[in-house]
Structures are given as C-alpha cells and as structure tokens.
Amino acid sequence: MGQVTSTAAVSSRAKGNRSSNYIKSRSTAASVSPMLNTVADDVDNDGEGANRDYISDLPDECLASVFQSLSSADRNRCSLVCRRWYQIEGQSRNRLSLIAQSDLLPFIPTLFSRFDSVTKLALKCDRRSVSICDDALVLISRRCPNLTRLKLRACRELTDSGIQAFAKNCKSLKKLSCGSCTFGSKGMNAVLDNCANLEELSIKRLRGITDVEAADPIGPGTAASSLKTICLKELYNGQCFSSLILGAKNLRTLKLFRCPGNWDTLLQLMANQVTSIVEVHLERLQISDVGIQSIANYSNLEILHLVKTPECTDFGLVAIAERCRLLRKLHIDGWKVNRIGDEGLIAVAKCCPNLQELVLIGVNPTKLSLEMLASNCLNLERLALCGSDSVGDPEISCIAVKCVALKKLCIKSCPVSDHGMEALASGCPNLVKVKVKKCKGVTSEGGDWLRLTRGSLAVNLDTGQSENENPGASASNGGAQANGIEFSPMPNQTAAAGASTTIASSSTGRSASFKSRLRLLSGRSLVDRTLRRWPGTRGSTSARH
C-alpha cells in the first residue's frame, strides 16, 4: 500500500468514538459501493447494467493517490463514503495530528489500528488542559515503531520515564520538536542515545531542567554524526546543550533564540570543533563581536540572522563579510543602537557578490552603502528596509536605478514620500512586489500612481488610518487586498522579521506635477472603460451620436 502525505486533526473524544465505530465495521467481507445510481447512458458495450461502479475498478494505490491531493477535511469526508474508502484512506495516511488531552488514552488502540502507516505525528495539548501521560506516549510508540517525526506541544504530564520508553521503541526518529514540556535531561539524552538517525532537534521552553549546574550534560549520544539542525528557543537552561552542539560534528544549522547566558565562549569552541555550519540565527542573545568573529571562521556560511544583539558592531560584520564570501541571505535587526551601519554594509557589498536577500531593521544605511550594495551585489532579489531614519526618497531613487535584479521590496517606517514611489515606477525592471507600511509621506495617490504606471506590479499599501478617519485612504478600491502580498521567503527560508508586514501611508503634500500626472492617467483609464462599455462604439475612440 502506498503512503501519502496529509494532515489530520483528530479530536480525542469525538474522533476517537467515530474511529472505534468504523473499525468494528471493517470486519465485514463486502465493500459497499458509493455509486449505485448511474444513468442509463453508462451501459457499456458488454451489455452490463446501469449500476456499474467504475471507481471500484481503480486499484487501491490509485485511490490512495487521489486522496493525497485532498485536504485533511475532504479526506475525512471521503472516508465516510464506504468501507473500502475508509480502509484505504486510513492506511494511506502517514501524517497525523492529535489533540493530546488525557482522555485520548482509551482511543489510541482504535486510532492507530486504522492509521497504521503513520510516520509523522503531532501531539498538541491546550495549555489549560491536562495532557496525555507517559502511558499514552508509550502505547503510541508501540503502535508506531516507524515514526520519523514527532512534535510535542504543551504535553506537561510527560516525564523522563515516558520519553525514555518512547526513544527505545522509536529508534528511526529523524526529527523531534518539543515545546512547553516538562521532562528533563534524562529524557533528552535517551532520545540522543537511541535515535542514531536524528537530524533535526528543536526545543522550546523545556521546563524539566531547573538547575543548570546540577543537570546532566545533554548529548551528543549516538546522534552526534546525524544531527544537521539544532534550534533552542527561550531556554533558561540553554547552556546545558553545549555538549550536544559541540559534539554534532556535521551540524549545518544553528538557531539560538532568547536563551540567557554568554554564548561567546561556546561559539569560540565551535569554530574548532564544528566545521560544517552554513546557517546561523541569533536572536536576543548575549553575544559580542568576539562570537561573531568566531562565526566568521565558517567560510561556507550562506545565511546569517543577527536580531537584537546590541553588542554586535560593524567590526564583527566586517569580519563576516571578509571571510564568508558565499553569504546569500543577511538579516540584521540593529534595535536602533546604531552600532551597525555603512562600514559593515560596505564590507558586505565589496566581499559578498552572491547576496540575494538583505533585511535591515533598525539600521541606518546611507545612499553610499546602498549604492555599493546595488552596484556590487547583482543577484540581490529581495530587500527590506524597516525603521531606518536615513532611508528617504534619494535612497529609494538609488535603489530604483541600481538594483536591476530586485524582485521584492519592503519599506516600513522610513521617511519616504510619493516621490520615492515615482522613482520605483520607472526603475527596478524585474520588480514584482512592493510593500510600504507606516511611511507617512506615502499616500494612496502614490500607490495608485505606481499601480497605473506598472500594471503588473503587486503593490501593498496601507495608509495606517481607519476607514472612519479617512474613508478615501484605501489604495485604489480594494487594491490593497487584491494585490496585497507577504514579503514571503523563498524555499527553505524563515520569514524575515519585519519584512512580512503589510505596507502603509498617510497624507502629506504632493507636487502639482505628480497630481496632474496621476489625474491624467486616472482620467484616461476612466474614459477608456467608459468608451468600451458605450453601445455601438465597437472599439472606436469616439462615441457615436
């Protein structure tokens, strides 16, 4: 039986009872056909009757492939058609999501008798509810020994004992994600010791480690050679994972978010022991240029996110630029401390010609650095400038002229006006999406002008005013919704912080020439539409009297 990938959200009580009832009916020998009433025209050449069910001629594998293209809700509905569809739909699922409340336990046997091919499982509990306990997790592990992915959310009743038993039964695990759970270092070490194929580990708010000094060091275990990605979020005890990070010899991606403690020392040790890093995300960490210089030793680094790390300066960014010449994506949130600016960005422009995506938040680049980036980074396709006091119309005009390859542009909370929109109307020939938010000098007229002059360009403009304050401030009759876009990441990329915003404006003065050009274009468009609808014109340019 072929397996398909889909997601099922199955509630612990209602779905459990339904699954139990259906499992009982599967023991009958006959498969009930869902299509018994067909028209007389369906009689085939062999003279068979009109009740022929052609779907029953499809092999199980073909029917499973059809289910693969359906949404989870549609798959659930299809499973009610007949016993055969019920059986095939259940056996062809390999991804399942369950509400992991305590009353799920009695329904686990029937659920996993039906969904017996599950390899990817999510167990999520509401934070106000009592989650499943160790017994339920152990029973699931016995029913699903081939699990490759497990996601646990707010399963606070799970202990080290339950995780240890699970790890012994599911040794094929490749990806583990835990959030707001209460087991500790013994459970984590059991996973790392038993799951030799573990490739991705994501831990968020692990409550079971309360004393960093007394806790057992975590990892690396038998997963030392297989781990490719480690992500630690909001861990007061994040330093306990130092042994795991240093022991993961083939680690490629390291993400550290809001974990207290000084991380410079670990990054210095990593430079000598872990050599395969290509992606680093650091957010709200105590890290200085010392740690950044250590990251610069990774000559194959392609993606770097520095988000709200106030001790990092131009000095560290220059080191990254000079040694990491393969850099493709750079995100910097300077947090308005002005310690990263033109010097670091000019170094990136000189040394990183492969740069494709640049996100600057709370950074104040000038026309000098932006011009160098545009001139030297000829592959720059995605640019976000957010909360930059120095980015105005001259800088946007520079981008419009120089950034030939640019496809997506996001501008937020910058002193840009309608004149900047005019520059974009005639520049950036490959531009497909523009988002502007909270730029007080950009008005709805500026957005309309950009749309009218670049008809294929998707413009997302938000005036930042409610309809009651200014009913006419929308960006062209619902255009903001029709053409609204997200500053969406390319494949395998995390959405840029601050670049995924919808874009804005408010009224300021405009030049008379700009308003006259806008009225001219709008007038022509209105006349053209009117003439096309006038009876008897048939494409002529004058109305027939």
Specify the amino acid at residue 10. V
Residue 48: what pLDDT?
A: 53
Identify the band that residue 88 occupies on the pLDDT scale cut at 50, 70 and 90: confident
Residues near 30 by beta carbon (within 8 Å), at least 6 away in sequence: 83
Alpha-carbon span 103 to 240, nearest angstrom: 34
Query: What confidence tens digit (pLDDT) does each residue in 200-233 have?
Result: 999 999 988 876 555 678 989 999 999 999 999 9
CB atoms within 10 A of CB 466: 9
Give me the pLDDT at residue 487, please. 44
Helix (H) or strand (E) holding 177: strand 175-179
Segment 358-378 mean pLDDT: 95
List all residues 6 or more positions away from 7 whose beta carbon is below 8 Å from its beta carbon: 72, 95, 96, 97
Rounded to an integer, the average pLDDT of 148-154 is 96
Residue ranges with strand state E in 312-376: 329-333, 357-361
Domains of the chain: 58-93 (1.20.1280), 99-231 (3.80.10.10)
Q: Could you tell me the end-to-end alpha-carbon distance of the chain, in angstroms, rounded to an integer?
A: 72
Determine contact, residues 183/156, Cβ cutoff 8 Å: no
Distance CA 86, CA 82 (A): 6
Asked if residue 371 lies in contact with residue 345, where contact means CB atoms within 8 angstroms, the answer is no
Output the pLDDT for position 237. 85
Under 8 Å CB-to-CB from 528, ≥6 apart: which residues?
Answer: none
- CB of 184 closer than 8 Å to CB of 209: yes
**Neighbour count for residue 387 (Cβ, 10 Å):** 19
Q: Dihedrals φ, ψ of 295, to 5°?
A: -65, -30
How far apart, in whole angstroms, are the C-alpha atoms of residue 378 and residue 406?
A: 9
The whole-number pLDDT of residue 462 equals 80
Q: For residue 6, what pLDDT band results from cuts at 50, 70 and 90?
A: very low
Element (H, E) at 348: helix 342-351
| Helix H or strand E segment including 89 | helix 83-91
How far apart CA 208 and CA 412 sit, in angstroms, is 41
| CA pair distance 8, 10, nearest whole angstrom | 6
Indicate whether 513 pLDDT > 80: no
Give CA–CA dist 300/70, Å, rounded: 40
Nearest to 4 by CA among 81, 80, 118: 118
Average pLDDT on 358-377 reads 95
State the average pLDDT over residues 473-497: 36
Residues 6+ apart with CB under 8 A from 47: none
Q: DSSP state, 221?
A: G
Tokens read off for 358: 């640049």
pTM metric for this prediction? 0.76
The answer to whether 402 touches 396, Cβ cutoff 8 Å, is: no
Evaluate whether 221 touches 197 at the Cβ level (below 8 Å).
Answer: no
Residue labelled with tokens 């060091």? 217
Q: What angle do CA 366, 371, 374 make, to 5 degrees?
A: 130
Rounded to an integer, what distance in angstroms lies between the CA atom of residue 152 and that of residue 154?
7
Structure tokens given for 39:
């028209």
349, 373 contact by CB (below 8 A): yes
Cα–Cα distance measured from residue 273 to residue 245, given in angstroms and rounded to the nearest whole number = 10
Chain CA centroid to CA 262, Å: 28
From 53-62, 238-247, 305-314, the region with the lowest mean pLDDT: 53-62
What integer is the mean pLDDT of 227-249? Answer: 94
Mean of the per-residue pLDDT values of the chain? 79
With bands split at pLDDT 50, 70 and 90, how would you rate the model's confidence at 356? very high
The rounded percent of the chain whose pLDDT value lies above 90 is: 60
* Phi, psi dihedral angles at 69 (to 5 degrees): -85, 0
| Angstrom distance (rounded) from CA 465 to CA 462 | 8
CA distance linking residue 435 with residue 503, whole number of Å:
5
CA dihedral (464, 466, 467, 472) positive or negative: negative
Structure tokens belonging to residue 287: 């890290």
Higher pLDDT, 36 or 274: 274
DSSP state, residue 222 = G
Q: Kindly state the average pLDDT of the residues 68-95.
A: 81
Main-chain dihedrals φ then ψ at residue 383, nearest 5 degrees: -135, 130
Mean pLDDT of 389-402: 95
Assign 463 a pLDDT band (cuts: 50, 70, 90): low
Between 349 and 535, where is the model more confident? Answer: 349
Residues 6+ apart with CB under 8 A from 526: none
Would you report the helix, strand and coil content of the chain in percent, each value rounded to 5? 40, 15, 45
Structural contact between residues 319 and 345, judged by C-beta atoms closer than 8 angstroms: no
Averaged pLDDT, 229-248: 94
Q: Is 260 left (phi over 0), alpha (psi -120 to 50) or beta?
A: beta
